Amino acid sequence: RAKLQQRAGHCYFSRSMGVEIRERVRMMHALRSGFQRGELFLDYQPQIDLATNRAIGAEALLRWRQQDGKLVPPDRFIPIAEYSGLIVEIGEWVLREACTELLRLRAAGHTAFTMSVNVSQVQLRHPHFLDMLRRALDDTGAPPDFIELEITESMAMEEPAALVEKLAHVKRTGVSIAIDDFGTGFSSLSHLQRLQVDRLKIDRTFVTEITGSARGSSIAQMVVQLGRNLGLSVIAEGVEDERQAQILRELGCPLAQGYLYSRPLSPENLLAWLAGESVTRAA
């Protein structure tokens, strides 16, 4: 009987896997042609200095609007872009687009503004990653000191030696490095130091828990402390209400981003938001 159930389970698994693979292949083709047709674009979420409540930079977030107008969330299509290798090309486009947007913001007077760009592990592992980065900087003329690459904590823990070497080269271009979704992995202190990381991003799950109890805020508190001890910048992601912001300020967290301040915005709306921000502050 157990055997039968096992076999039945196995059959069911294979069939759903077939559907799953077919769906992925379909999506991969749609993504490739959508990318070529210009269906991908970037939104920008402001990052805020908790002491002054002013924007200090933005994170570029990839969007895919299909021909029928349907918006596909990045959590659905980025794994497919990675799986198919398409992320290498798409990621290069993202970086160049974000560099160009940074220059537009600077031209509009936001000269201290930074731009954070998410980098996939498939991209980072690619043998031409550094050339790609240098070319994007050269061709666009974007100032590297105002650009940050976000790699996830799980990526930061992989293949230490090769990664340390690669990130050292990244740092030599002037571009800085943030660890995204920090607190979800198990990176060691010494490893973080060897990676020459500049900033830790407290994962949203720990920001959500922060108002619950002392225990709920302990991870956020630990990351802030860690940042202070290592001399790293710290930003809390997914801040949705003023209570969370207040606790983060009390913990000494310097930076935040989240719906409390702004959803990710189109380039036009980001500029308007920044203009409005200075108007309200001046008033």
* Residues contributing to the site for ligand C2E (CB under 6 A): 45, 61-62, 73-75, 78, 91, 94, 118-120, 150, 180-181, 204, 237-240, 258-259, 264
Task: Please give the structure tokens belonging to residue 274.
Answer: 């920044």
Tell which residue, 59, 101, 64, has the closest CA to residue 201. Answer: 59
Which partner, Mg ion, ligand C2E, none, binds residue 75 by CB below 5 to 8 Å per kind?
A: ligand C2E
On whether the CB atoms of residues 42 and 97 are closer than 8 A, the answer is yes
Residues numbered 31 to 50 that lie near Mg ion (CB under 5 A) are none
Question: Mask 227-266, x = binds Mg ion (CB under 5 A)?
Answer: ----------x-----------------------------
**Over the Cα atoms of the chain, what is R_g?**
21
Q: Nearest to ligand C2E by Cβ — which residue?
A: 258
Task: Please give the structure tokens belonging to residue 24.
Answer: 């992925």
Q: Kindly state the smallest distance separating residue 173's Cβ from ligand C2E, in Å.
A: 19
Query: How far apart are the C-alpha atoms of 74 and 79, rounded to whole Å?
Result: 8
Q: Kindly state the smallest distance separating residue 118's Cβ from ligand C2E, in Å.
A: 4
Which partner, Mg ion, ligand C2E, none, binds residue 78 by CB below 5 to 8 Å per kind?
A: ligand C2E
How far CA 45 is from CA of 54, 120, 175, 239, in Å, comes to: 13, 19, 19, 12
Angle at 17 between CA 11 and CA 21, to 5 degrees: 150
Q: Is 118 in the site for Mg ion (CB under 5 A)?
A: yes
Q: Is 120 in the site for Mg ion (CB under 5 A)?
A: no
Query: How far apart are the C-alpha atoms of 47 and 116, rounded to whole Å?
Result: 10
Beta strand 233-237 with 255-257: parallel, antiparallel or unpaired? parallel
Which partner, ligand C2E, Mg ion, none, binds residue 27 by CB below 5 to 8 Å per kind?
A: none
Residues numbered 133 to 162 that lie near Mg ion (CB under 5 A) are 150
Nearer to ligand C2E by Cβ, of 68 and 75: the residue is 75
Q: Kindly state the smallest distance separating residue 257's Cβ from ligand C2E, in Å.
A: 6
Nearer to ligand C2E by Cβ, of 93 and 194: the residue is 93
How far CA 59 is from CA of 7, 11, 45, 147, 215, in Å, comes to: 48, 44, 5, 10, 29
Nearer to ligand C2E by Cβ, of 154 and 194: the residue is 154
Binding site for Mg ion (CB under 5 A): 118, 150, 180-181, 237
